[in-house]
Amino acid sequence: VTPSTPRPRLTLLADELTDVAGRPLPPDEERRLLEAAALLEALVRDDPALRPEVVARALTVLAREPQPRPLRALVVALRRRQVRQAAAAVGSWWSVAGHPGWPVPVRLQAAAGLALVAAIAAGTLGLGAVAGAGLVERALNVGPPASPVAPTNVPAPTPPRGPVVVLPTPTPSPAQELPEATGEEPSETPALTAAPEGTMTPRPATTPPRQAGATPGATAGATPAPATPTATASPSPLSTGTPLPSETPEPSDEHHHED
Amino acid sequence: VEGASPIEEPAVARRQGETPDRILVAAILDGDQGALRFLVERESAALVRLCYRILGDLGEAEDAAQEALVIAYRALGTWRGEGSLAGWLGRIAARVATRRARRLRAVGWVTPGSPDGSDPSPLWAARPDGSADPLTAALRAEEAARVRAAVARLPDLYREVVVLRFFADLPLAEIALQLGKPLGTVKTHLHRGLLRLRDELAEGRR
């Protein structure tokens, strides 16, 4: 391929002129037509020379133009693995589709590409949003069991009511232990009273009447009957029929206040 | 055109069944900047010349040629390969230049004055020795402007054939190919266009 040379100047010949039916013209009419042609040919006698800056300017303008086939430009860039060129091709679609200077087929092609990109972007965003929402929901669901935020479920197993709470270790057989209780360990009673966390210690008198009745002898001999520390050593309080004294140490203040 | 970068030979060899214009267009559509440069360097002179013949002003002609190149580049994907690429470009440039010619205002003419100095004029003052004939040059320029204006006023069918034949130097067969019309129709349009042009110029002289 070599640069083309200027086309030779053509002089109108008579055989180029025919009438509507394709027949040769009458000599007079042919002469008039050749005169008109000579006027036009006289215009082209002094053609200007091409200035080199014209080519440079045109190339500069054309270099800023997007590719004439928008989708093909993207395909070619992807085939050549030119990511920047591919992004530029996609970016040029907007200007091509919205510019009236481009041919309609090219604009339609660019608009179709834009629609495709928009659909892909919307789909990707939608999938991302769904995935993100799923992650957040899973994080929220996994969190509460591990967190100590909900202690309200704990007090459920502590419904002890009444004065039974005060004595955690009632003696199953006060009569048998009476000598020990009276003889050695009255001093442990403060410890016992301190253990239930205040709410129940100051009132030894609140011992159930049944227990008080069960230790008539002890009360007579020394300190108040609940001070029977040996009762803690008793392995089976169930035998006495007391309702699980070992669970009583956790009374909730709320229940007491409510009562 | 000096400095033109020829299309790579391997590319030509791969597509031997195609015309050089088709190879060139395919390369440009693939984003080959060298091919685009080659086309611009090859065709710029002809396009500027064609636009100058229609417009009669070099600056306007260069702008019109550049506009035609941009339009052709944008529509390059629609080129069907019928006829030469140069003819297709020339047709686009002729349209652009004719549109510009219609927009141009009437040229302000310089009064020629007289050579004996009784009626001083810039034309005679510029050439006091009288070696040239500026009066004749001015009259020729006026006549050329009149002819150009008459061509621009021709109906589209006739004007396109007349312009491509006389200003783009295309043979009638190539014009028929570019316009997609039979050769007889092109001849008829040329005939009628020249008659209309002659009548209009004769009318203007009266």
pLDDT at B29 over 80: yes
Beta-bridge partner residues of A18 = A24
B167/A37 Cβ within 8 A: no
Span B119-138, pLDDT tens digits = 444 444 445 555 556 777 77
Task: Please tell me whether the interface predicted TM-score (ipTM) of this complex is above 0.90.
Answer: no
pLDDT at B70 over 50: yes
Q: Pick the closest to residue A69 from A117, A107, A100, A99 (CA basis).
A: A107
Of A6, A33, A85, the CB nearest to B45: A6
pLDDT at A70 over 90: no
pLDDT at B64 over 70: yes
Of B7, B78, B144, the CB nearest to A105: B78
Task: Please tell me which residue of chain B has the smallest CA distance to A25.
Answer: B191
Of A16, A47, A68, the CB nearest to B187: A16
Of B40, B76, B165, the CB nearest to A55: B40
Beta strands in chain A (DSSP E): none
- pLDDT value of position B85: 92
B151/A4 Cβ within 8 A: no
pLDDT at A250 over 80: no
Span B169-206, pLDDT tens digits = 898 889 999 999 998 889 889 988 998 998 888 876 66
Span A228-245, pLDDT tens digits = 444 444 444 444 444 444
Cβ-based contacts of A9 with chain B (< 8 Å): 169
Q: Using 50, 70 and 90 to split pLDDT, how confident is the model at A86?
A: confident
Query: How far is residue B67 from each of residues B64, B159, B175, measured CA to CA in Å?
Result: 5, 20, 22
Which one has a higher pLDDT value, A110 or B71? B71
Span A194-236, pLDDT tens digits = 444 444 444 444 444 444 444 444 444 444 444 444 444 444 4
pLDDT at B14 over 70: no
A12/B165 Cβ within 8 A: yes
A44/B43 Cβ within 8 A: no
Mutate to test the interface with B, among A10, A31, A43, A85 (most CBs of B within 10 A): A43
Phi, psi angles (nearest 5°) of residue A18: -135, 165
Of B41, B61, B201, the CB nearest to A55: B41
Which one has a higher pLDDT value, A251 or B134? B134
Task: Please tell me which residue of chain A has the smallest CA distance to B13.
Answer: A1
**What residue type is assigned to position B81 of the chain?**
G
DSSP string, chain B: -TT--PPPHHHHHHTTTS-HHHHHHHHHHTT-HHHHHHHHHHHHHHHHHHHHHHH--HHHHHHHHHHHHHHHHHTGGG----S-HHHHHHHHHHHHHHHHHHHSPPPPPPP---TTSSS--HHHHH-TT--S-HHHHHHHHHHHHHHHHHHHTS-HHHHHHHHHHHTS---HHHHHHHHT--HHHHHHHHHHHHHHHHHHHHHHH-
Of B53, B62, B76, the CB nearest to A68: B76
Highest mean pLDDT among A25-34, A165-174, B64-73: B64-73
CA distance B151 to B142: 14
| Å between A110 CA and nearest CA of chain B | 13
- pLDDT value of position A57: 94
A36/B40 Cβ within 8 A: no
B188/A1 Cβ within 8 A: no
Share of chain B above pLDDT 70, in %: 76
B1/A106 Cβ within 8 A: no
Cβ-based contacts of A65 with chain B (< 8 Å): 70, 73-74
- pLDDT value of position B111: 44
- pLDDT value of position B16: 53
B184/A36 Cβ within 8 A: no
Task: Please tell me which residue of chain B has the smallest CA distance to A74.
Answer: B30
